[in-house]
Amino acid sequence: MTNQTIRVVARITALPNKVEELKAVLLELIEPTRQEAGAIKYELLQNQYDPTDFTFVEEWTSHEALNSHLDSPHFQAAAAKLEGLVTTTPDIRRYHLLA
């Protein structure tokens, strides 16, 4: 199990009048994050039926790589911009692939 990658699903919900502003902040994370050591997959999804609903689907080589991402300057800068754009704190969940 020690070689198993870490999967992350992170849901972020925009205030109804802040969808485009939040989308811009989240899109800024994509390229720098994909360049990080340990990043295997980093995708941003937007719900087709509820445009306020954004989800990151991520895969990392290790908890250490994910923690480095969460501490990175570009992630911290984006997190600082969330106040006033989101309905609640982002829901970030870590998973292991079972099958």
Domains of the chain by residue range = 6-95
Residue numbers in the chain where pLDDT is lower than 70: 1-2
DSSP-derived 3-state class of residue 57: strand
- Provide the whole-model pTM: 0.93
How far from each other are the two terminal CA atoms of the chain, in whole angstroms? 13
* pLDDT attached to residue 2: 52
**Which of these CATH numbers, 3.30.300.30, 3.40.120.10, 3.50.50.60, 3.30.70.100, describes 6-95?**
3.30.70.100
β-bridge partners, 91:
11
